[in-house]
Structure formats: C-alpha cells, structure tokens
A and B are shown apart, each in its own frame.
Chain A
C-alpha cells in the first residue's frame, strides 16, 4: 500500500515537472522563422514580373519570360519572415520577387499559415478620429 502511494506521488511529481516545463518552454517554431528553403525558378505565371532590389518597392526591375529562360535554372530561396516573396540573385544583387508570380521546380512548403487564428468579424474600438487625418496635408 505504502509502495503504491509512493509510486503515485512520483508519477504526480513527474507530471507536474513536465507540465511546468511545457509552460515555460518557448512556443513551437513558426514556419516563417525556420530555415529558408532553396529551389529553382523555372518560369513566370505572367508575361512580366517585377523584381525588387533588396525588396524595396520603389526599386523595381521588370523581367520577362525570356529573361527567366536565359537564367534557368535560377536559384531562389524562400523568405524566412514571409511567404509573400522569394529571394533571387541577379547580377550579384539580391532581389525579391512575388511568390505567386513565379513557377518553381518544386512546391515550396509553407508549414504554417501566417494568417492563422485570425478574427475577421468583430467590433473594432470606437474612436473619435479618422485614420490619416493631418497626414500629407500639403
């Protein structure tokens, strides 16, 4: 009887330790935090696609299907922070390209949707102002 009680105590103790460890351990890594995936770009889904130098939207360079043909196999990597862009190198400079616009030689995995557990319906806080008032007045 005493031995059985001791076993129970040990089991409860181990359970508590495991529970505590779970509570303080970091959350499971998100896909976008994981290592970048490497793959090849094999085509474009549109006639022309813009590449953005260092992913700056004001530094766009347009490429055509022919440009891709010349560069095939064109090495690309996924962005660890977002699923929206892939990174490519062109003439030694890093560019990002819209993910939907290119065809790849394999399916680039997205382990977790960035939009997970989003609430679309809901009551936003009521405010007495409108967004953007006072901006760019001139």
Chain B
C-alpha cells in the first residue's frame, strides 16, 4: 500500500523542507498533467493498450460466450466452397460460372430468404458462357429470394458495380465487400455500413452485404447507418459440430500459449455461424437440412481456397474464410437490431470521449489514493457527514436503477445505469480520499502469505478444470479475474483497486448499452495503467523524500557539486513529486474519524 516513510517522522521534516516549493494544489495540478500525458502516450501509441488488448479481448470473448443471443445464429447460414470440394466436383479454380449456377439452383430448391454471393464476377472468361449464371441468379430472384452480389472495388467498370457485362442487373443488388483493417492481434473488429466511412446518406453508395440485407429487416435507414464494431459471437453450432473437426488444443497447451504469448494464441476451431459445404448442398436433397437450416434463412455463399487471400482474422476463431465476416456482421445486426455496437459516432468520436472519461477517472483516483491532498480530503470528507437518511435514499435509487435495467427492455438502459455509476464514483472517491492507512501486524503478514499461496494454488487447479470443460476464455473470466480480485482484496488488502476496477467495468457496461452502444472497452489496460502509474508515483514520492532528507543533512550546494540556482530548481522539481501535504499530518486523526 503506502511506503513506510509516509507516517514516520521524516515526513514532517520533509513537509517543512518543501514548504517553500510549489503549493499542494500546484503539485496536484502538475501531477494531473503528467499523468494525463502519460495516459495519452500509453493509450494512443503502441503501448499498454496494444499489449493488453488480447487479455481484454479474451475476457470480452468469455462474456460474449455466455451472453450472446441465438437470434442471429439461427437465421444465418454459410455455404462454403472448400478447397477439397474442387477435386470432389472435378472443378478448378476459379470456379466455373456453370458450377456457381448449379449452387444457386440448389439453393432455389432449399428456399432461403436471401443469398449473398461472396464471389466477384469481374473479368470475362474466354470459353465460358455467363448466361447460365445470370439465369440462375434471375431464377433465384424470381422465386422470391433477394440476391446480393459482391461488387468490385475497382471503379469505372460497366454498371458502376465493377462487375462484368452479361449479368442481368435487375436480378441482384451489388454490395461493397471492402474489409476494414485488423486491430492488432484481435483481428478485424469493425465493419462498414457502406463504401464510405463518414456517411451512407447518398443513395448511390453501395451498402455492405450485412447492412444491405439487414437494414430493411431491422429498420436502419441510410442516414442512421454507421460503422459497426463487431461482436464475434462464439456460441456452439450443433450443425458445425456434426461434421467439422472442432477439437481444441489441450488445457496444458492453452496454459503454455497463454503464458508464452497471450490468451488469444489459442483460438476456437469451429465458427459460430452455421455452415454447410457445397457438397452437402449439391448432394442428396435433405429435408431436415432445409427445414432447420436453410429455408427462410439468409445464405452467405463464399469460398475457402489456398493461395487466394480472402481470410479474416478474428479475436475468437482461427483464421476464417472472408465470408464469415459478413455473416457475423449480419448476425450482430439481427441480434442487436438498431442498437448494434458503433465503432465511431457521426462526426464526434464518442468512443474517444468515453476512453477520455475513463482515463480522467483513473487519473483522479490515482491522485487521491494512498496520499490524498488535504483539500480533497476536506471535500470528500464532507460526504461522510451526509445524513444517513439521504445515504439510504441514494442507495435505494441506485439499487432501483440496477433492478430496472435487469428486468426491463428500454432503449435508455445506459442512462438508468449512469445514476448508480455516478454514485459509485462519488463513493470510491470518498473512500480514496478518507481511507486511513493501516500497517499489517506480524500475524496478518504470515496469514496473508499463506492465503496468497492458497489462492494461487486454488486458481491454478480451477483454471485447468474450467479450461478443460468450458475453454480458455471462461477460465480467464471465471478463475483468473476473480482470483486476482480475491488476492487484491484479502492478501494485498487493496480495497481501492477492487472498487476502481468494479467501477471501470461498470463504465464499460454503461457505454455498451443503448443508447450509447459502443463496443467493449479495454478495461484491462485502464486497470494496468492505474497500477503502473500508482507504482511510479510511489517511487517518485519516495525518491523526493530521500532527496529532501539528504538536502537537510547536506544543505551546502558545494557538497552537491552544483550551483545554488540549480539546486533550487532541483528542490522545486523534487517537491513536485511529493504527494499529500502538511495538512495531511494535521488532519490525519480527523480523516480516520470520518472514515
């Protein structure tokens, strides 16, 4: 917790030594600016955020695993043309128009609601007639199925969609299939609504496949469409398990990869989206397959070929064929409907605003924990004088809001939860400013050591058991995180850390819910920043106190080897690192009483 120097006699003497330096408020302000700059540096550049993304993402994966709804999965099907299917069907790459036509004909028999073809027919092929393909598309359309074709990203081709001539444009809707870039090891996390990143309002802008199909179903207008942050669902698909090899790496392999690289090094082998191969589709007609997986569903027809590119890296699965990106985005739109998670908001980047607020909260807490300035103690101490009746009323309001959020479906969930969150922020700030330091007794020291070892051993055994049964994400969420919390609460006795983390998680939940609708936040990075900066501030405080102790012992500038001016500047600089102030000592007893 705090350094032993905090409450010893040196502090009083140091305080006297710094009395000519910057005032407590100046020191707090400078420390605030320094922490804000450090935070901005670590979060914006290739730093803490980037390195901790896999851990945060793994926790998000685990939460999604247990909370993501089945709605989208039930209504989506990927039909995959696999590399091995080429040999089975005596086909070659690129697949002939006739074969594509055959697949679309088979789909007509199975009566889907919509079909997106993730093959772009750009170039004319010598010796191949495109008419059968065009006829198959039109016949699919004539049977009431909406057909979407991948447009070419190349501009200036015939028809504005970049596709080859000979395809009947009245039978399909061209869609933009441009993929967003990857976000570090997490892979692709965003999905455009249309070709443009800023606005989809112009009617001539092509939609992306997921938005083109889902927009009329869920009521998204061109003006409301925004870039999406994809939540990669990871529910089990019984259809996929019936034919795919879904066996994951062993528990010990997970543990080794997690320790050696990161928790995302070992990913899931089977996709979330229900999938069949073209061989399934072209084989014997299967009524069960039709009724349970194809009829009335949206079909994403794509390919998986060696040396052809078109792979998508996701935070949950090993690399998948690109068509799964569109299927997952569509799944998100059906699941969250108009409350799909936004990557960025119109004009103003709400995502950055929320990140900034989280950083601000973390910095304010950093300034208050361990050695709060006297003015903060005075301000937050007054909260302790609030009447018990008001306190209970606030508590009831907070609990009421949480219950309302849990049991009602409204588009204002985030607003409801904001009330308990803000009350929680005030409570934690009060706790940080007034909580007295406690030195552990000898008995407590031994007991903490024993407890720490027990928690570590228990967590390890539980990790292996949970990982074997539910996967590595679940082990992280259900064992590692609670284990660390228990350690911090019982062994390190760092209640503030636990309270801060809970609040940060609460803030992430609020920003996820409607009407804010942002994607998951990297909470692990904020918590790590809190811990690292706290450690740095303690070190700086300790160094400054040692400096002033030496200054007192050797006041002559000659013994420091510098001039009086330099030494004065050094005094000022080290004084900025000091935390707390003179009043801290005088008000110590008061603070204890208030706490």
Q: Give the interface of A toward B (CB within 8 A).
A: 45-46, 55, 57, 82-84, 98-103, 107-108, 110, 113-125, 127, 129-132, 136
Considering only CB atoms, which chain B residue lies closest to A113 in the complex?
Answer: B243
| Complex: A113 Cα to B268 Cα, angstroms | 23
Most chain A CB neighbours (cut-off 10 Å) among B82, B105, B240: B105
The answer to whether A121 touches B283, judged by C-beta atoms less than 8 angstroms apart, is no
User: Which of chain B's residues 495-526 have a Cβ closer than 8 Å to chain A?
Assistant: none
Contacts A120-B304, A127-B307 known; 7 new A-B pairs at CB < 8 A = A82-B279, A114-B283, A119-B269, A120-B270, A120-B321, A123-B319, A130-B308
Assess whether B588 is interfacial by the CB under 8 Å rule.
no
Q: Which of A82, A119, A131 contacts B308 (CB 8 A)?
A: A131
Residue B285 at the chain A interface, CB threshold 8 Å: yes
Chain B residues positioned under 8 Å from A84 (CB to CB): 88-89, 279, 282-283
Q: Indicate whether A121 sits within 8 Å of B268 (C-beta atoms), given known contacts A100-B285, A132-B94.
A: yes
- With contacts A46-B105, A124-B311, A130-B309 known, is A118 near B283, CB below 8 A? no
What 0/1 readout, one digit per residue, does chain B (93-120) give for beta carbons within 8 Å of chain A?
1101011001001101100000000000
User: Can you name the residue of chain A whose Cβ is closest to the Cβ of B108?
Assistant: A46
B contact face: mostly helix, strand, loop, or mixed:
mixed
Partner of B98, one of A46, A57, A100: A57
How many pairs of residues, A versus B, come closer than 8 Å at their CB atoms?
A: 111
- CB of A101 within 8 A of CB of B284, answer no
**Contact at A118–B245, with CB atoms within 8 Å?**
yes
Check B80–A120 contact: CB distance below 8 A.
Answer: yes
Question: Chain B contacts of A55 at CB under 8 A?
Answer: 90
- Chain A residues with CB under 8 Å of B245's CB are 117-119
Chain B residue, CB-CB nearest to A47: B139
Contact A45–B109 (Cβ < 8 Å)? yes
Distance A81 CA – B202 CA, assembled complex (angstroms): 52
Given known pairs A83-B279, A101-B106, the reply for A118 and B243 (CB within 8 Å) is yes
Q: Is B271 an interface residue (CB 8 A)?
A: yes
Contact, CB under 8 Å: B306 / A115: no
Q: Are B319 and A122 in contact (CB under 8 A)?
A: yes
A45, A116, A119, A131: the one within 8 Å of B285 (CB): A45
Q: Does the CB pair A83–B318 fall under 8 Å?
A: no
State A62–B541 Cα separation when bound (angstroms): 87
Q: Judging by beta carbons under 8 Å apart, are B244 and A98 in contact?
A: no
Q: How near does chain A come to B288, taking the closest CB pair, in angstroms?
A: 11
In the bound complex, residues from chain A placing their C-beta under 8 Å from that of B109 are 45-46, 100-101
